[in-house]
Structure 1
C-alpha cells in the first residue's frame, strides 16, 4: 500500500472546508485517511493497521469487506442493480419474509427505505395513520434521525440542528441509572422514570398520544442501558392509553446486544420497530416493521425509490445468514462480557472511569473528574493516543465523555485483551 496513491488527511480536510457543508465534523485532532478494511481491521493511507472498535457506528457488524457477503452482493450487481420497488423483484419480499421470522413476536410487515432517519419517519407516519393521533412522546437524550421530525424527537441538544422543533412532541425522563434525572436509586425507585410517562400523558397530551419512541439502548446518550423491567412497565402504561410503542433498533439491531434485537433482552414486543445500519453491513438499507393489524392501515400510496433495492436486499439477506451461521449473537455475548469485566477491573485502578455499562458489544465507559463531573477533554486525549497506537474507539454521551465500544461482532478474545491492555497502559502513563 503506497501512500502516494492517496491525497492524505490534510488535503481531504481542505476539500471538506471548500466543498462540504460545515455541519460535518470528524474525530481526532490528527485524523487518518482510512483506505482499506478487512473484518475487524482498518488501514490508513500510510499503511498503518488499526483494530476497529466502533464499526462505523454500529454498521459493520459482520466485519469490513466481509468476503462471504461481498460475493453475494457482487453477483447481484452483475445481474440486476435497480428497477425500483414499484416493479416486481423477489429480493425484497424474501428479505421481508426473513425479517418477519427473526423479529420478535407478531411483527410481520415491512416497509423498506435507505436510512435510519427514513425508517423512523416512516414509523411515525404509520403510528399516526393507525391511531389518528400525531402526538409523540420521546425520551430525553434520545437520537432518532436527521429529518425535521427525527430531529424534533431527538432529546440531545447538539443534534438539534433546527432550533424550532415540530409541535406535539413531549419528552420523558430517560432511564439512566448512573445519572438518574429524578435523583433516585434503582431498584428503590420502582421505575419512577417509566411512571413519569403516565403523568406526562395525563398532564401534557390529548390523553391518547399516537406513539412513544425509544432506543432500546440509548447510543448517543452514552450507551445508556435501561434496567431490566423498564420496558415492560412502559408497555403496560402505553397500552392503557392506546399509545403505540416504537422501538428504535438502528444502532442496537442485528446481534449487537447478544440477541438479534436488543428489545428481546427485555421480553417486550414493540408495535413498530425501526432498523438500519447493520442490516446492510455498509450497503444503504433500512426498514420499519409492524404487526399486520397496524401495517394494513397503511393503504394510501407510498414508496421509496431505493427501498428494497435488489443489491441492498441481497446484501441484507447475506448479513442475516452470516449472523446465524457464524454465531455472532453468541460472540457478542461472550466478548461483551469479557470487555465489561475488563473495563470494571480497570475502573478499580483508574478513577477517571466513573461508570461501565453495556449489553453485548454495545458498551460504554464514562470518563469523569474527581468530583464526578464529565471529563470529555480527558477522553479526547486518551482516544487520540489510542488511535496513534492502532485502536479506533468511539465516543458519545450528552457531554461527549463516554468511551464507546461498538466493534464488529467478529472480534476475538485476543482483540478484547489487546484493547483493554492498551487502555490500561495509556491511563497508567497519564496517571488517570
Structure 2
C-alpha cells in the first residue's frame, strides 16, 4: 500500500476524513481527555491505524495498548475500505481485515483465535480494543490515495449515492462480511470516515474526476446523514461521520462547499503534513505550523495557511482537527549549505518502506548520524548530515503542535499514522501534553 500522499503540481493536496454523529458534534464526541482551559469541550485525539501495519512493520492492534497510545485516543480510524467501480463498499484486504488469526501473544485480550470463530483479523482485535477502552470511538476510513478511484461514481446520482451508503453501512456498521455469519462484525465501528482524494481534482493516476464532484460530495454527506439517522433510530446507537480534507487552498475551493460540509460532519481532519516532499527538487519543511520566512516556494504553505483558509470559508473551530505526522520526508544528494534547508537535491532519501518516507521510530534509532536543526518561530525541525535531509517531527515539535491547537481553540489533533511512534509512545505522549 502507498503512504498517505496528496500532491499537486506545486502543492500537495489533502486527504479526507469525516466523523459523523447523527445531529450535532456534541452527540458524537464524549471524550475523557483534558480540554483547553475554559474551552468546555474535551480534546479529540484521532489516530489512523492502517490495515497493512501488521505486515512488514509488525505493528499490531495490541501495540496500541503496549505503547500507551489507546488510552490517549478519543477516536481511531481504521484505514482503508475501498469502493468498487459501481461505488459499492468492499474490503481492500479481507485477510488483514477479518480472516487473519492471531495468537494469544498477539491479541489485545491475550486469547488466541480459533478456527471457525465468527470474526478474526484486525476487526476482531479492534472489537477487543473497544471492550478494553469502551469510550474509544472507532471508525472505518474509506478511500485513501489508492482507494479513491471510484468515489466520483458513488456520488454521481441520487441512486448511486443511496446504493453506496447502503452498502457501506451494511458491510462496516451492520457487519455483514462476505462468507461470514450475518452481523459477524456488528458493533466494531462507530461511524464512517471519508477520505476521497479528491473531489474535482486529480490525485492517483486513473482516478475518476468530474467537475460536479464538489456539489456531489455535499450530496453524498446528506445521504450518509439520512441513512445513519435511520440506522441510529433502529439501534439506539450514535454514529460518527467524519472526513479528511486537503490542506491546499486551491483544492479546497475546487472540491468542497466548506460551510455546508462542516454542517454535515461531526468533525473534519485537515492534512497538516506533506506540504513538501521529495517529489520536489528542493528540500523543505513538510509540516511547519507557520510558513518559514525564507521559504523560496510559492504560494506559501503551512498548517496556519490551511487552517485559516477553512475558518475564513465558514468552518467552525470546534470541528477543525489538525493532522500531524508520525513520519518524515527526506531527500539525498543535498547541497551542503544553510544546514541543508531549501537546497537542491538529487532525489528521495533511501528508506525502509518507501524512498523519501521514513517512520519516526526508525529515524530516531539513526539520530546519532544527524544534526537536529529547528526553526522555533515557524514551528518545524529537520535532520541533516551533510548530504541527506529529513523533516523531523520529534516530541519537541509534537508538543508545539499540540499547543498550537490548544491556543487556537481548535477541535483537536489527528495522527497519520500510529505505527510510526516508538515502543513507549513518545510522540503521542508529547502531543497530548501539548493539547492539555
**Larger Rg, first or second structure (1 or 2):** 1
- The structure, 1 or 2, with the larger RCO (C-alpha pairs under 8 Å, 6+ apart) is 1
TM value normalised by structure 2: 0.24
Q: Which structure is higher in helix share?
A: 1
